[in-house]
Structure 1
Amino acid sequence: MVLIAVFGVALLIAVLVSGLAARSILSTSLLFLVAGALVGDGAFGLIHITADSPIVAVTADLALFAVLFTDGMHVSFPALRGAWRNPARALALGMPLAFVGMALITHFLVGLDWTTSFLVGAVLAPTDPVFASAIVGRKEVPARLRQLLNVESGINDGLALPVVLVLIAAAGPASGEAETSLSKIALELLGGLALGIVLPLVVNALVRLPVLGAEPKLQPLLPLATGVILYAGCHLTHANPYLAAFSAGAVLASVSPESGRAFEPLGEAVAELSKFVALLVFGALLTPRLFGDLTVGGYVTVVLAIVLVRPASLLISLIGTRFARREKLAAAWFGPKGFASVVYGLLVLQSGIPQGEEAYTLIAVCIAFSIAAHSSTDVPVARLFEVEDLVGIPDDADEDGHDGAGRSRPPGQPGRRPEWRSTTMRARDLAMAYESVRVDDDALEAARLMAEHQLPGLLVLDRDGEPKAILPASQVIKALVPAYVIEDPALAAVIDEKHADRLCEALRGRRVGDLLSDKATRPPIADPDDTALEVAALMAQARSPLVAVARRDKAGLHLLGVITASQLLQRLLGHAEPHE
């Protein structure tokens, strides 16, 4: 009961200071972590929690599941199909580099054996964007950056688990519960993926039956019920719950967007509450003795893990991508260690392997330092992307003709539209990641990109990264077909298949800029605050299949994403009432 009372007080304080926290380096996550440390055995001793207490593993497990489930619901499959390369780079190259880099510094600075050092690297490899909410939760931040951080963190938890289990088995004699095999690990991962895909499809099929259907006020509970059943099912069948949670969230949002939108406020609240509970409990484990048991080399390792290993590994993986410099730096910095590392760290401690306690001490301190560092810097970094209205409360000017300090607004100067007062869909809410090329890119590669993703056109950027034109697929086809065939289509019948295969040679050595029509104009650009109807009017006026969404400031134009005609049509029709 004391734990519940402490949580209630901490929650009240967090709510009261959340507005200030959203505009400063103050962190509500850090508040719960410190509150847990103060009431634990290391300070006032109001609650008695140890690493082997069941509540530690349960709260961390639930928090990770809830966060991954809600994160999965933010994944857009159309956007992911068009921008899968960046998350793939982070997972296939960045994550292994971080894993190896962490193992090296752990071995040489802490003195753990090689197997245990690699085990520490595997435990600390997963990332958790929940401690960078001002970045991943804001539409003003480029969609491809948000997509990268979200997808990377949603998948790397599941990828790290089999490595952790194998290394625990290889580290030495372990308790019976820690024994595992490669076949068992593979079955758990496949089971989690299967449950995460099949269950949402079954639920969606049930909802669409004529005799069934959710009452509007109960519709937000449909994804919640799905998540509860999935969580229990994974633990009963020993399937991987984390891979299941992320995949289920993504599939449910894809097959039933209306359920995803209805569940979003409730889902975010559930994820926040579970996160706060887990942080409070984990904080109670952070005693002076724990910090005292870590050597100087251990603290150096912790610092290097946060400021060197993760940033360097991700920056290497993003070499050659189209990310702007500040986007790369933001992605490299935000690799916080979260609940997956807590769960896996407890597995290490409870396994009974040699050097297990030393490894857990290093892991726990690294997680605590990471939460403090990353949850306190998300707001300052968010401001680099022109995220000003961080809590939805206008600080410069409101709608009553006064600015934030009560001064009158000059006549004719529009006030800022406070997002929290309106449910109107804005351009920034519709913007999604979309494949783009630069004028100097290879034309043949651009054509292959268009064909691979079945795109009606590509957004062409100039050398400064600003939208220049739209390259329609028809223009690329025109460049492939010989001029004499265009003038007389009947001649196409006499071109054999072998010669037709050589048409792509017409693109070799050419640049994207060479394919643009002389009449090509700059694509329509919408302001992030434009409504869906304003975007539709702009698209119709320009007769363009897509509209770029960008914010302009003193530094230039910052592309946030793209709205396609099909996406906009789906949104407009989705709000139209069907005729009886």
Structure 2
Amino acid sequence: MDPYILLLTGAGALILLVAWLPMALKELPLSLPMVCVGLGFGLFHVVGGEEPLPLRFPVATERLTEVIVIVALMGSGLKLDRRLGWRSWNLTWRLLAISMPLSILGIALVGYAWLGLGVAAALLLGAVLAPTDPVLASDVQVGPPDTGVEDEVRFALTSEAGLNDGLAFPFVNLALALALALNEPPEPGVPGWAVEWLVVDVGWKLAAGGMLGWATGRALGWLMFHLPNRAQLSRTGDGFVALGATLLAYGLAEGAHGYGFVAVFVAALALRDAERRHAFHERMHDFAEQTERLLMMVLLMLFGGALAGGLLAALTLEGALASLAFLFLVRPAAGLIGLAGARHPLRERVAIAFFGIRGLGSFYYLAYAVNRADLWEAEALWAVVGFTVLVSIMLHGITVTPTMRWLDRRQAPAERS
């Protein structure tokens, strides 16, 4: 068959699967990501061809994962009904301020002491695997805007996934700065790279991302909902406005050398805050979610192809055990420490701590770092991260549906009483 015709046929089948599989898998202890990885593995294993290994296509890996993460961040922000606040977001702040740094530290210590990674590579591994992924965490996130599906577990995981992808960036940049500094003569006193990291990577980039994201969201909110009726952008009814808002917020923040991930999520929150009950939010969210799902299927099938092509060839027994420790020990322990003392049932805190899902955001950060620093551990890092994501997809994919149903059943009597 003509390769072009084969491509069209495959694209058509993929789009139909995007629409059908979530419905077909709803009653099964399976997830869409599990099926996508399996399809990709089988396709590349049977058909063959050039394997889509990240180290073979480093720039494409970075850019493709970058796009899906920012689309997922917009969708996550749009679906949150709860206003931004100190008390209402209490669990989120705990996860970001306590659990994420502890996860980075715990993963980095395991990487350094158990896997024999250098200091920079170990810190990078922690920064890459600590954030909860906004793409693969969709099964434990809140429902669409104004549907009321926003219990504490779903809200905490959605809001955490929305913010911690951007907040992990300073630690990724710290690992890069360390990697570059270790190849240069030591400086007396406080190293210049440390000052630059603190002022630029922590201070300026976080502030610029947050402020530009909020300003972009408020400006678009005015255009959508507060212009004279005939001129309102929302009257178009076009859900792809969400994609425009995503790219605009991201581009403005990155152009100002801020964190675009932070800007996109904050812009989505600002859009909801501009007019909380408008039906156009659901239209934008639906378009963002459909786009995210299509991109996710493509990338996870490529991930399956990479697995078939030897992505895990450099994985050692120590690396596999370390990955299991990240998922079963480090993240749950860090999550429970961060949530200690919160006025929520233990079962909810355990669920939040357990579902710290790894995914495409981890691939982005690792590709970003490897493209900017010469790390001799790059192949081993890809193997460990790839195995961690694979186990996370299987583990959380199997457990998420029964766990969330059990929590919903336990919550219903509590609400009636």
- The TM tier, using the shorter chain, reads 0.7 to 0.9
**Which residue of the partner structure matches residue 24 of structure 1?**
28
Report SS of the residue matched to 1:290.
coil
Gaps of 5+ in 1: 388-464, 466-549, 561-580
**Which residue of the partner structure matches residue 111 of structure 1?**
116
Q: 2:388 aligns with which of 366, 373, 377?
A: 366
**Which residue of the partner structure matches residue 145 of structure 1?**
153
> 2: distance between equivalents of 1:296 and 1:114?
21
Whether the 8 Å contact between 1:24 and 1:380 is mirrored in structure 2 is no
Shift of 1:8: 3.8
> 2: distance between equivalents of 1:13 and 1:222?
25
Shift of 1:380: 1.3
> 2: distance between equivalents of 1:263 and 1:35?
29
Distance 1:4 1:56, change over 3 A: farther
Report SS of the residue matched to 2:384.
helix
**Which residue of the partner structure matches residue 188 of structure 2?**
none
Shift of 1:83: 2.0
Shift of 1:140: 8.1
> 1: distance between equivalents of 2:96 and 2:131?
10
> 2: distance between equivalents of 1:160 and 1:37?
30
**Greater fraction strand:** 1
Q: 1:337 is aligned with what amino acid?
A: R
Report SS of the residue matched to 2:312.
helix
Deviations 1:314-354 (A, max 9, x none): 01211111221221121111001122211111123322123
Q: TM-score scaled to structure 2, two decimals? A: 0.84
Moved more, 153-162 or 194-203: 194-203
Whether the 8 Å contact between 2:129 and 2:358 is mirrored in structure 1 is yes
Shift of 1:163: 0.8
Shift of 1:309: 0.9
**Which residue of the partner structure matches residue 34 of structure 1?**
38
Distance 1:343 1:21, change over 3 A: same
| 1:242 correspondence with 2:261 | yes
Gaps of 5+ in 2: 184-192
Whether the 8 Å contact between 2:134 and 2:361 is mirrored in structure 1 is no
Q: 1:231 aligns with which of 250, 272, 279?
A: 250
Report SS of the residue matched to 2:69.
helix
**Which residue of the partner structure matches residue 332 of structure 2?**
311
Deviations 1:127-152 (A, max 9, x none): 02543434323578762222211111
Moved more, 63-72 or 192-201: 192-201
- What is the aligned residue count? 391
1:6-155 alignment, distance < 5 Å = 6-40=10-44, 44-46=47-49, 48-52=51-55, 53=57, 54-78=59-83, 80-138=85-143, 143-155=151-163
> 2: distance between equivalents of 1:378 and 1:106?
28
Q: 2:227 aligns with which of 206, 209, 232?
A: 209
> 1: distance between equivalents of 2:360 and 2:100?
17
Q: TM-score scaled to structure 1, two decimals? A: 0.62
> 2: distance between equivalents of 1:215 and 1:105?
50
**Which residue of the partner structure matches residue 379 of structure 1?**
401
Distance 1:231 1:91, change over 3 A: closer
**Which residue of the partner structure matches residue 190 of structure 1?**
207
> 1: distance between equivalents of 2:234 and 2:102?
49
**Which residue of the partner structure matches residue 574 of structure 1?**
none
Deviations 1:205-259 (A, max 9, x none): 3343336223635353443332232234344444322101110111001103313
Whether the 8 Å contact between 1:129 and 1:153 is mirrored in structure 2 is yes
Greater RCO between the two (CA within 8 Å, min separation 6)? 2
Whether the 8 Å contact between 1:131 and 1:375 is mirrored in structure 2 is no
Whether the 8 Å contact between 1:173 and 1:352 is mirrored in structure 2 is no
**Which residue of the partner structure matches residue 321 of structure 1?**
342
**Greater fraction helix:** 2
> 2: distance between equivalents of 1:134 and 1:204?
28
**Which residue of the partner structure matches residue 262 of structure 1?**
283
> Quick one: percent identity of the two aligned structures?
25
**Which residue of the partner structure matches residue 274 of structure 1?**
295
> 2: distance between equivalents of 1:209 and 1:14?
36
> 1: distance between equivalents of 2:302 and 2:253?
24
Distance 1:126 1:146, change over 3 A: same
**Which residue of the partner structure matches residue 217 of structure 2?**
200
